[in-house]
Amino acid sequence: AQSVAQPEDQVNVAEGNPLTVKCTYSVSGNPYLFWYVQYPNRGLQFLLKYITGDNLVKGSYGFEAEFNKSQTSFHLKKPSALVSDSALYFCAVRDMSGGYNKLIFGAGTRLAVHP
Amino acid sequence: KAGVTQTPRYLIKTRGQQVTLSCSPISGHRSVSWYQQTPGQGLQFLFEYFSETQRNKGNFPGRFSGRQFSNSRSEMNVSTLELGDSALYLCASSPTRERRATNEKLFFGSGTQLSVL
All structural domains of chain A:
3-114 (2.60.40.10)
Alpha helices (H) along B13-112: none
Number of A/B CB contacts below 8 angstroms equals: 64
CB contact under 8 A, B110 and A46: no
Identify residues of B whose CB sits under 8 angstroms from chain A CBs: 4, 6, 33, 35, 41-43, 45, 48, 50, 55-56, 58, 90, 92, 99-103, 105-111
- Whole-angstrom CA distances from A110 to A37, A68, A74, A90, B80 are 10, 22, 17, 9, 33
Nearest to B103 among A51, A102, A106 (CB): A51
Return the higher-pLDDT residue of A2 and B64.
Answer: B64
Nearest to A102 among B45, B90, B99 (CB): B45
Instruction: Give residue A6's pLDDT band: very low, low, confident or very high (50, 70, 90).
Output: very high
Beta bridge partners of B34: B47, B91
pLDDT, position A95 = 83
Determine how β-strand B112-116 pairs with β-strand B10-13: parallel
- Mutation test of the interface with chain A: which of B26, B38, B41, B106, choosing the one with the most A Cβ atoms within 10 A? B106
| Residue ranges, chain B, pLDDT below 50 | none
Across chain B, mean pLDDT equals: 91
Q: How many CB atoms lie within 10 A of CB A38?
A: 22
- Whole-angstrom CA distances from B109 to A17, B52, B69, B71 are 31, 19, 18, 17
Give B100's contacts in chain A (Cβ within 8 Å).
Answer: 96, 99-101
C-alpha to C-alpha distance for B109 and B91, rounded to whole angstroms: 6
Cα distance from A14 to chain B (closest Cα, Å)? 25
Residue A81 DSSP SS3:
coil
Average pLDDT over residues A33-47: 91
For B9-24, how does the pLDDT look when each residue is reduced to its tens digit (9 = 90+)?
999 999 999 999 999 9
The secondary element (H helix, E strand) that includes residue A47 is: strand A44-50
Give B102's contacts in chain A (Cβ within 8 Å).
Answer: 32, 51, 94, 96, 101
Residue A77: alpha-carbon gap to chain centroid: 9
C-alpha to C-alpha distance for A5 and A90, rounded to whole angstroms: 10
CB contact under 8 A, B48 and A100: yes
Q: Which amino acid is at B22?
A: S
Burial B52-76 (b: 16+ CB within 10 A, else e): eeebbbbebeeebbbebeeebebbb
Contact between B51 and B30 under an 8 Å Cβ cutoff? The reply is: yes
CB contact under 8 A, A34 and B105: yes
Give B51's contacts in chain A (Cβ within 8 Å).
Answer: none
For A52-89, how does the pLDDT look when each residue is reduced to its tens digit (9 = 90+)?
888 999 999 999 999 999 999 999 999 999 999 999 99
Q: Which amino acid is at A88?
A: L
For A86-109, how does the pLDDT look when each residue is reduced to its tens digit (9 = 90+)?
999 999 998 877 666 788 999 999
pLDDT, position B105 = 83
Q: Which amino acid is at A89?
A: Y
C-alpha to C-alpha distance for B97 and B101, rounded to whole angstroms: 7
Residue A58: alpha-carbon gap to chain centroid: 12
Written as one string, the DSSP assignment of A45-97 is: EEEEEE-SS-SEEE-GGG-EEEEETTTTEEEEEESS--GGG-EEEEEEEEE-G
Instruction: Give residue A30's pLDDT band: very low, low, confident or very high (50, 70, 90).
Output: confident
